[in-house]
Amino acid sequence: MNFSDEDDNNPFSESHYFYSSGIEAEFEGYSDGRDGDLYSRHTSSSGQAPCLDSEDEPDWVAASHPDRSESDDESIVNGTAFLGEHTMHTPAGIAGKDGLRVEIVGAEASRDYKASLTIFYNIQIDGDFTKIVKRRYSDFCSFRFCLLRLFPTKVIPPIPEKHSLGKLIKHPLSYKTDSKVISSRIRLLHNFLDTLLRDEQMGDSSALKKFLDPEEKNWTQTLKSPPFTLVPNHPLLFSPQTPTQPNPYHSYLPIPPISSLKGFDSRLNSSVFRPMELRFQDLARCLLGLEKCAKRIENDMTSYCKKMTDLGGHYNVVSLLEPNVHPNPLEVFGQGIDSNFINLEILIKNFRVNFKEPIKELRATCTIVLHLLGFRKWKDLQLNYLRTVIVKKQFRTKKLLEMETLDIRLDLALSQRVLDSPTITEALRRFEEHRVTPGETPRSEPGSRDSNWKSLFSGSKREINSLTSQERQREINGNRLDLAKLTKCFELLNDDVRYISIEVEKNVLLEERRIKKKIFYMLADFQKMLLIYSSENMNVWKDKAAIGHVV
């Protein structure tokens, strides 16, 4: 799969699905206090294929980025958040399952396998000995894309956004080498790896081990090997339980149009997953408001910082007019302004790293959760779609059998020579009027049925009355074979929907609690930042005598 600058590269691209992976979207112990598992609580389905006479309808009805070369002729950019006395939440080494510590220690410009100058992010792995793995931004994008398919029920953490068109227009020459952008990416990519390593399944997966393997130098070539090549392209054509072990029955399941999701609902979705969707939409709106507010605050503080720089410079220039005055009150005041300027710069950096960036990351996570809920609903719709196909085929087979039974009875009546009965004579006359003789209507040739299993989902559109006895028998026998295969498909899909619903509910609830907890701590950190900033400024201006002398 090619990750170009233009492609959005997500596992749903071929089906126009809206699964996203990055932060660039504009809006983008598990226990819930209930007894029993999800499946038993919300459905009475036995897991068997639906029957024509059954009254019960089955109830089982959370981006990516391009492969890009980023030219940069600058030296290595340090991976720490910033330098300051009161820095909080700077990236630290991640403890892996095997005792390894993983940390993105910086970025550097180097030549890739195409000999293009590209920014590589250095991932340091500390174990028995220290190893460095170099990965491009596009490698992280393609890796996350694979995780979406390998773990379709997980909330895969977001990665930093692509360079926006606005940045390209504003900084056409340096938008890819902006040190602020690179430092921000280092922090966010560190968080991405941190989340993966803390997850029991993903942290121990062969995919992550390959990504962190220094021997896998050409990541594009690595993607052409297992387990990445074992997963089918379309997300509806493999089991979420065993993505790397495709089943032939899964390969030929029906794919309902994504546009059908809008008008689709089920008892399970309305009672469990729709409320989750509404809560995450509210969370996303709240975080969007916080993000806009954070941007305004940062812009205001940056503007104020520049004004303080100008003011402090003017005071220092004026103080030079009287060099023999010691202490010079204007110089003292100017130094106070300079100290305030330094404190404000530290506040802005802390605010950007510990408040603005996490809000953006959490909002992207909310969007990913919403797309995951949409994917579960799509699987739900697929099951309902398959059930409808089975019921229609059962209904047509029943009508064919009824017509065949009626034909047999009429033939039996003829053989018993009861044509003297005016009732039977009239029934025969009417039946023969609607019966088509061979040759008048094109007939299906024996063995002409499409051997591809996709033909299971396309039934005959010919009127039953227009079929001959041989054609009816042939279609009845074919439908029986098809229904046996469809029943197997239904059982597998029903089990998949049950699994994905339980897993998605569990993972989404855990993510919801994590996001709310993170928001609480972010607001507490912001309060701490303001208190530190105010305290430092009070210490600067505690020499009131000097201020009074100036006044």
Distance of CA 292 to the CA centre of its chain: 23
- 411-446 burial, b at 16+ Cβ within 10 Å, e below that, comes to eeeeeeeeeeeeebeeebeeeeeeeeeeeeeebeee
Nearest to 328 by CA among 336, 319, 316, 317: 319
State the average pLDDT over residues 376-388: 94
- Per-residue pLDDT band at 371 (split at 50, 70, 90): very high
Burial 53-85 (b: 16+ CB within 10 A, else e): eeeeebbbbbbbbbbbebebeeeebebebbebe
- Residue 519 C-alpha from the chain's centroid: 21
Return the pLDDT at 189. Answer: 95
Give the whole-angstrom CA distance, residue 346 versus residue 339. Answer: 11
Instruction: State mean pLDDT over 323-331.
Output: 71
pLDDT at 111: 80
Among the ranges given (228-232, 358-362, 507-511, 544-548), the one the predictor scored with the smallest mean pLDDT: 544-548
Token pair recorded at residue 129? 């000995």
For residue 403, what pLDDT is reported?
A: 86
425-440 per-position pLDDT tens digit:
666 666 666 555 444 4
Return the minimum-mean-pLDDT range out of 58-67, 171-180, 299-308, 521-530: 58-67
Q: What pLDDT, on a 0 to 100 scale, did the predictor assign at position 527?
A: 93
Q: What is the CA radius of gyration of the chain?
A: 34
Question: Which of residues 87 and 549 earns the better pLDDT score?
Answer: 549
Residue of 356 and 444 predicted with greater confidence: 356
- Is the pLDDT at 65 greater than 50? The verdict is no
Asked if pLDDT for residue 181 goes beyond 90, the answer is no
Name the residue among 55, 157, 66 with its Cα closest to residue 372.
157
Cis ω for the linkage preceding 446 (within 30 of 0): no
How confident is residue 533, by pLDDT bands cut at 50, 70 and 90?
A: very high
The single residue listed with the structure tokens 């619903």 is 501
Q: Which of 68-77, 422-431, 452-461 has the highest mean pLDDT?
A: 422-431
pLDDT score recorded for residue 419: 53
Q: What gap in Å lies between CA 220 and CA 359, rounded to an integer?
A: 32
Mean pLDDT of 88-101: 59
Kindly tell me if the per-residue pLDDT of 392 is higher than 70.
yes
pLDDT of residue 280: 97
CA-to-CA distance for 9 and 20, rounded, in angstroms?
Answer: 9
At 120 the pLDDT is 92
For the chain, what percent of residues have pLDDT higher than 90? 44
Strand partners, 126: 101, 130
| Strongest mean pLDDT among 176-185, 227-236, 333-342 | 227-236
Confidence band of 78 (pLDDT split at 50, 70, 90): very low
pLDDT at 72: 36
Which three-class secondary structure string do you get for 302-348? Answer: HHHHHHHHHHHHHHHHHHCCCCCCCCCHHHHHHHHHHHHHHHHHHHH
Report residue 164's pLDDT band, with 50, 70 and 90 as the boundaries.
Answer: low
CB 479 within 8 A of CB 397: yes
| 220-233 residue pLDDT tens | 999 999 999 999 88
pLDDT of residue 80 exceeding 90: no
Q: How confident is the model at residue 69 (pLDDT cuts 50, 70, 90)?
A: very low
Whether the pLDDT of residue 250 is over 60: the answer is yes
pLDDT digits (tens, 9 = 90+) for 479-504: 899 899 999 999 999 999 999 999 99
Q: How far, in Å, CA of 293 to CA of 300, rounded?
A: 11
Domains, the chain, with CATH or none: 63-237 (3.30.1520.10)
Main-chain dihedrals φ then ψ at residue 468, nearest 5 degrees: -80, 170
Q: How far apart are CA 15 and CA 369, in angstroms?
A: 19
Flag whether pLDDT at 276 surpasses 60.
Answer: yes
State the pLDDT at residue 424: 62
Closest CA to 291 of 217, 211, 366, 183: 366
pLDDT (mean) for 196-214: 94
Q: Where are the beta strands (DSSP E) in 467-514?
A: none
Question: Cβ(363)–Cβ(291) under 8 Å?
Answer: yes
Element (H, E) at 141: helix 137-150
Tell me the whole-structure pTM to 2 decimals. Answer: 0.74
Average pLDDT, the chain: 76
Mean pLDDT along residues 398-412: 83
User: What's the CA gap between 104 and 535, in Å, rounded?
Assistant: 33
Q: At what angle do helices 422-434 and 357-415 cross, to 10 degrees?
A: 130
Grade residue 542 by pLDDT with cuts at 50, 70 and 90: confident
